[in-house]
Structure formats: structure tokens, C-alpha cells
Structure 1
Amino acid sequence: MRKDELVVDYIERLRRLAINDAGLADDGGDDHSVLDPVLDQRTRALVRLAALVAVGGAVPTYGAQTDAAVDAGATAAEIVDVLFSIVPITGLPRAVAAGPKVALALGYDVNEEPDRQVVDEDG
């Protein structure tokens, strides 16, 4: 795809969002070029997880989105970094509220004692 085609794609995508094009909610009909994602699957999964935190999603949704991110190649460290990265935008309370939900989705119960002790680098 040429650079000028990418420019047209994003402009057309923005235009269709701006006019609330009903075709965006379905499969897009025959015009898949507007709906074809530009972001890779891993990045989209991490962005969706960030959006979920921003809207304060339900616990089961965290499991599904975290699984999708892992399946797309994201690491647990990257998933946790999403929480830290959105604090300036969503505020600390949203990230704190999402922490236990993401932890459970990653198979870690924040109410249990950790299996390992974190060692301070200075001592």
C-alpha cells in the first residue's frame, strides 16, 4: 500500500466516524478497506484493554481482553504497563480499580501472599 493510499484510508475512516456511518457497525459490506485495521492484533488488544480500564469495564470483560492480549503476543509485563501508562489520562483511581481485575485475569490473586519476595536493588 502506498503512502497516499494510507492518507485516504484514515481520512475516509474519520469521515465515516464523523457521520456515524451505519456500515461501521456491521461487516462494512463490500468496502472492507475502510474497516481493515492498521494496527497489529497485539497493539489493538492492548488499546482495547486500556479503553476497558477507561470505561470501568466488568470483571469478565477484563478476562476476555487480557486473554486476547496474551493470545496476540502481549506479555504480562506489557499488560500491567498499560495500567501505568494510562494513569495521566484516566487518573490513578481507574488504574487502581482495574489492578485486581487484571491481576485475576493474569492468574494472580492480589489478596494472596506473593510466592516471591521483591528485593530492593539497593540492599
Structure 2
Amino acid sequence: MDYTDRLRRLAINDERLAEDGLDDAGIGVVGLDAKSLALARIAALVAVGGAEPSFGSQTDAAVSVGASPGEIVDVLVGIIPVVGLPRVVAAAPKVALALGHDIDDAFDDVGVTRGD
């Protein structure tokens, strides 16, 4: 199915797109490579204010398909003009935890509390 068919199906809310668009693991069978799709999903989580566990699973998925922590952070910085700085700031600690870093510990090391 080409992109115009997928776009049409999206526009008319064709439920078959969701069924046809996922493989057995729930990963999209689309024209994007796995890494690009995983990074796009992290960006989407930021945009909707996703929950911490979602960031954990999507970040793990991105790393497992070859995304580096630097690329994940680059996505956060890159979407600031679209979603706004407050959304990215709210997501940053969730992404940091998913990557194995505790932002609050980093602030403690320099004598600053988040929000100062």
C-alpha cells in the first residue's frame, strides 16, 4: 500500500490501517526504518505529555534498534519549536531516567534544585 492509500485510510478512520499497520510485536510496518520510527514515537510522547513508563519502554525500544542517547536528546531539542520548551522540559527527566540518569542527582551535585 503506498502513502496515498495510507493517508486516505487515516483520513476516513479506516480501522484496517491499524490492523494492517502493525506486526506481531506491535511495531509499525511502515516505510520508516525502525530507528526513525522509534525516535518519532519518543517525540510523540513528548508532544502528548506521556507517562514515565511509556518513556522507559519507548526509549528502550529506540536504543535496541540502534538509537544513541545523544540522538534521543537531539530529538528533544529538535522538537522544541513544535511542541514548546515546557513540554520538552517536562519530558527531559523521564527520558533521563529511561537512559539510566537521575536528573535530580545531577542538580544535587551542583547545589541546584529543579526549577531554580
Query: TM-score scaled to structure 2, two decimals?
Result: 0.82
| Aligned equivalents of 2:92, 2:41: Cα separation in 1 | 16
Could you tell me which runs of 5 or more consecutive residues in structure 2 were left unpaired when the two chains were aligned. 22-27, 111-116
More helix by share: 2
**Does 1:100 find its partner at 2:102?**
no
| Aligned equivalents of 2:77, 2:35: Cα separation in 1 | 18
Contact 2:39/2:62, CA 8 A, preserved across alignment: yes
Query: Runs ≥4 in structure 1, deviation > 4 angstroms?
Result: none
| Structure with the greater alpha carbon radius of gyration | 1
Q: How many residues align?
A: 103
Change (3 A) 1:14 1:27: closer
Could you tell me which runs of 5 or more consecutive residues in structure 1 were left unpaired when the two chains were aligned. 1-7, 29-34, 118-123
**Does 1:16 find its partner at 2:22?**
no
Aligned to 2:38: 45
| Aligned equivalents of 2:82, 2:39: Cα separation in 1 | 15
Shift of residue 24 of structure 1? 1.7
Contact 2:6/2:17, CA 8 A, preserved across alignment: no
Identity over aligned pairs, percent: 62
Please point out which of 73, 85, 92 is paired with 1:80.
Answer: 73
Query: TM-score scaled to structure 1, two decimals?
Result: 0.77
Aligned to 1:64: 57
> In structure 2, what residue type is equivalent to 1:52?
L
State the Cα RMSD in Å: 2.0
> In structure 2, what residue type is equivalent to 1:91?
G
> In structure 1, what residue type is equivalent to 2:76?
L
